[in-house]
Amino acid sequence: MEGKEKNIRKRVFNIVEIGSGGDLPSVIFDRLIVIAIFVNLFVTVAQTFEQMEPYMPVLNAVEFITILIFVVEYILRVWTADYLYPEERNKLRGRLKFILSVYGLIDLFAIIPYFLPFVFPAGAVAFRIFRVIRILRLFRINSRYDAFNVITSVLIEKKNQLISSMTMILILMLASSLCMYSLEHDAQPDQFKNAFSGIWWSVSTLLTVGYGDIYPVTVAGKIMAIIISFLGVGMVAVPTGIISAGFVEQYTEMKVMGEPIEDSGLKYVTSRIKKDSGWVGLRIKEIHFMPDMIPLMVVRNKEKLPADPELELLEDDLVVIAVNSLS
């Protein structure tokens, strides 16, 4: 009985994960969820129009159906989460890891706003703000299509550079706000009352928003504003350049996969580790590759690991191998 349940859970896991062309139930489930996301978002927007009042019962019924689909999907994902994290030997730890993951929290927060008014009817008005969280359902599409996953991959890989650039922007923002407060407080104390007023001005200036509700009137303040404006254009361009470079790197990497590299005679191939392949549990150094094959890295749960000789392979790992096509 336990083996049968394990097989059922494994099959359910394969269905709720990204659909492949060879697995019709998985593809159908995948498309059903995507359709449900857009239908639910349409209903959420339509409910804000007074003209839709006569159709509100129909919209509420459609919303309930889509929410029910999301609830069933969430339960299935929690039930099979141990297959998503094969390195976790304990089922409970694997499920908890999924619940606390980014996509797990998005799935949960996409469902909760619908039920809050029923649990706390007296505070239904206050909980309306949680309806905005429903738009997070759109991020579920990221987990199903590689084109959307590129965005997440770029942000993760460039997080250190982005954090550094944002830190520089915050430092410049604080310094400019204090300078402007010192220069403009005596001239217009009603506008630059404190350092926070200077921060509001520096944000609108550095980020090139330019609301115009607070502006310098003294000569020194105007000169400082010119300098800060120039610095702001350059500082805001830094994270933009980092993200742009990350996109170029990601798409270049995706493009060269499986294509020969000019002049080198090398091409990249990938191999998915299956349960019956005989590689599960083996270290890379224990695998006998052909002389013209060099393991480069292992992709595990969207994390890229160097192909260290001591790295133990797990089921569903993706091994990236360089092959000399000229040999």
Predicted TM-score (pTM) of this structure? 0.55
Residue 321's φ and ψ, nearest 5 degrees, are -125, 135
Question: What domains lie within the chain, and their CATH numbers?
Answer: 2-144 (1.20.120.350), 159-256 (1.10.287.70), 266-324 (3.30.70.1450)
Q: Which helix (H) or strand (E) holds 33?
A: helix 24-46
**CB-CB neighbours of 56 under 10 Å:** 11
The amino acid at residue 136 is: L
Q: What is the pLDDT of residues 144-202, one digit of tens each?
A: 555 566 777 777 778 888 888 888 888 888 888 888 888 888 888 888 888 777 888 88
Q: Which helix (H) or strand (E) holds 249?
A: helix 219-256
**Calpha distance 22→15 (Å, rounded):** 11
**Calpha distance 215→198 (Å, rounded):** 10
**Per-position pLDDT tens, the chain of length 327:** 556 767 788 888 888 865 555 678 888 888 888 888 888 888 888 888 888 889 999 999 998 999 899 899 899 988 888 877 776 667 788 888 888 887 788 788 878 878 877 766 655 555 556 666 656 666 666 555 555 667 777 777 788 888 888 888 888 888 888 888 888 888 888 888 887 778 888 888 777 776 777 788 889 888 988 888 888 778 778 888 888 887 777 666 655 554 444 444 556 667 778 776 677 888 888 887 777 778 878 888 767 777 888 888 887 788 888 776 555
In the three-class reduction of DSSP (H, G, I as helix; E, B as strand; rest coil), residue 303 is classed as strand
Q: Do 245 and 237 meet the contact criterion of CB atoms below 8 Å apart?
A: no
